Amino acid sequence: MMSLELSTLISSVLGLGLAIPSYTCIVMGNLDIIRKKGKLSPTDVIFLAKGIVNLLLQCVMSIEGMIFVLSLETFNIKQVFVFMSTSIYFLIYYNFWLTFWLSAHYCTTITNLSYGFFIWLKRIVSNFLSHLLFLTALGVFIVSVPWFRAVNAESIQSTENSTEASGNRFSISLSYLVPMTVLGIILPFCLSLLCLVLTSSFLLRHVWRVKNNDSGSTRPNLQAHVTALRTIFFLLLILTFFCGYQVMTFLPRSSLSIVFWNLQILSPSVEAAVIFQASNKLRRIILRRFWTRSWRNTET
C-alpha cells in the first residue's frame, strides 16, 4: 500500500509541476496570437481550450491524489466526493470531445471528402467552432450532472451493528456510469479514431498516386499533414489511459490498475508536449520570449 501511496503522491506533484508552466505558456502564446492577429485559427482555438481544460484537470486530479495519500477519510464526506468526481469527469469528457473536434478539423481539411456530411462538418467547424465548443461544454455538463443523483442513490451506509464512520463511503450506480462513459468517452474516442483512419487512408492513397504518376513535377510537402496525423495519434494514445482506467474500475485492484491510475494522473501534462509539437506558432512565440528574456538577463 505504501508503494501505491508513494507513486500517487509523486505522480500528483510531478503532474502539477509540469502542467502549470506548460499550459501557462500555451494559453499566453494563444493570447499573444490574438493580440497580434485579432483571431485564432480553428486549431489554435482548440489548443487554447485544451490548455485551459487540461490545466484545470491536472490541478483537480493532483489535488485528488494528494488527498488520497494524505487524508483518505476526506473522501468519506459526500460533498467532497461529489465535487471531485463531477469536476474530474466533466473535464475528462470535455477533453475527449475537444480531441474529436480537432480530429474532425484535420480530417475535413486534409481529405477534402465530397460527401455531404463532411462538407457540412467542415463548414460548421470552420465558421462556428467557438459556438460549437460552447455547446459541447454545455452538453458535457448536462451529461455530468447525473453524478449528483448517482452518488445520492448509491451511498453505502454503515452496518446496523457498527457505529464507525468508515462506512460512510460512496459508489456510483452502473445505470449512470455506463451511459455517461459511452457518451463522454467511448463515443468521442471512436469518432476520433474514425477520423484518424480516414485521414491516414487518404494520405496513403495520395502518396501512392503521386509515386505512380510522377510526371517530374515537384512533389507536395506533406509535413503539415504528417504532423496532424501524429497529433491525433498521440492524443488518442494518451486518452487510451483514461479508457484503460475506466475498464480497471470494474475489476479488482491490481498492479495494472495502479499503473493506469498513475498514467491517468500524468496524462494532462503529457498532452502539453503533443500540443507544442503540433503548433509551430506556439513554439516560435515561446522560444522568442525565452531567448529575448535570456538576452536581456545577459545584458544586465
What's the pLDDT tens digit per position in 216-236? 445 556 788 888 889 999 999
Q: How confident is the model at residue 137 (pLDDT cuts 50, 70, 90)?
A: very high
Q: Quote the crossing angle between the two packed helices 42-70 and 2-37, to the nearest 10°.
A: 150
Beta strand residue intervals within the chain, DSSP E: 155-156, 169-170
**Range 181-190 burial, b when 16+ CB lie within 10 A, else e:** bebbbeebbe
Q: How confident is the model at residue 159 (pLDDT cuts 50, 70, 90)?
A: very low
Fold of 2-155+168-209+222-291: Rhopdopsin 7-helix transmembrane proteins (1.20.1070)
Which tens digits make up the pLDDT trace of 55-105?
Answer: 999 999 999 888 888 887 777 777 777 788 888 889 999 999 999 999 998
Percentage with pLDDT > 70 across the chain: 77
- Residue 178 cell numbers, joined: 455506463
State pTM to two decimals: 0.84
| Weakest mean pLDDT among 23-27, 73-77, 203-207 | 73-77
pLDDT of residue 158: 45
Residues 6+ apart with CB under 8 A from 263: 241, 244, 245
**Domain locations in the chain as residue ranges:** 2-155+168-209+222-291
Q: How confident is the model at residue 160 (pLDDT cuts 50, 70, 90)?
A: very low
Percentage with pLDDT > 90 across the chain: 18
The answer to whether the beta carbons of residues 170 and 151 sit under 8 Å apart is yes
